[in-house]
Chains A and B, each alone.
Chain A
Amino acid sequence: KAGVTQTPRYLIKTRGQQVTLSCSPISGHRSVSWYQQTPGQGLQFLFEYFSETQRNKGNFPGRFSGRQFSNSRSEMNVSTLELGDSALYLCASSLKLAGPFSYNEQFFGPGTRLTVL
């Protein structure tokens, strides 16, 4: 079974530009979560989608947005890029959502490394 794939793997942009990152989950997985990883902050949760609906959202500005398609593939968009947006963006997929009496095992992709100049 193919794992989580993310494209592109590397991206260089300049301040003020926008960027779109793509994530294809493991076949059959309906939940996709996005994280920002930086050396100082570790992994910060951005948002989670399930069946094309945003179910959870982290504490990021509105410049960060995402969506999920009917085939569970997901994209995240960052508009008006800032230097501080340089990071590794990780996508994770899981079969289901976590709940009060259940957990969801997440499977991570290799990430997209975004550099903002």
Chain B
Amino acid sequence: AQSVTQLGSHVSVSEGALVLLRCNYSSSVPPYLFWYVQYPNQGLQLLLKYTTGATLVKGINGFEAEFKKSETSFHLTKPSAHMSDAAEYFCAVISTSGTYKYIFGTGTRLKVLA
């Protein structure tokens, strides 16, 4: 069965520093992978997705992620953090074992320090 692991439930970075949020997945078949962001008191918003093709995926707000099959990883990065990036980030995969449903990681709360 597919699963998603997000390393680090809380990450703090200084404004202007690199943001790196880690996501590892397990899947026996090429996965569909997603990163979502959740701001306080809001639902989830899609940042970017990997379906097929180019392994480096660019999303909104300057975020990007690279699909690395050999490492079963899909880490999210942003070169320079902004205060407005403070939010909770979720990595997700679509399960292909029997039923096709989203499986979410437990989330990483990003704090940006001034």
> Hey, which bits of chain A sit against chain B, CB under 8 A?
4, 33, 35, 41-43, 45, 48, 55-56, 58, 90, 92, 97-100, 103-111
| A43 contacts B90, C-beta separation under 8 Å | yes
> 26 A-B residue contacts at CB 8 Å?
A4-B43, A33-B101, A35-B104, A42-B105, A43-B90, A43-B104, A43-B107, A45-B103, A48-B101, A55-B99, A56-B101, A90-B43, A92-B43, A92-B44, A98-B32, A99-B100, A103-B32, A103-B49, A103-B94, A104-B94, A108-B44, A109-B43, A110-B42, A110-B43, A111-B42, A111-B43
Contact residues in A for B42 (Cβ distance below 8 Å): 110-111
How many inter-chain contacts with C-beta < 8 Å in the A-B complex? 56
Known: A43-B102, A108-B45. 8 other contacts (CB 8 A): A43-B44, A56-B100, A97-B100, A103-B49, A105-B46, A110-B42, A111-B42, A111-B43
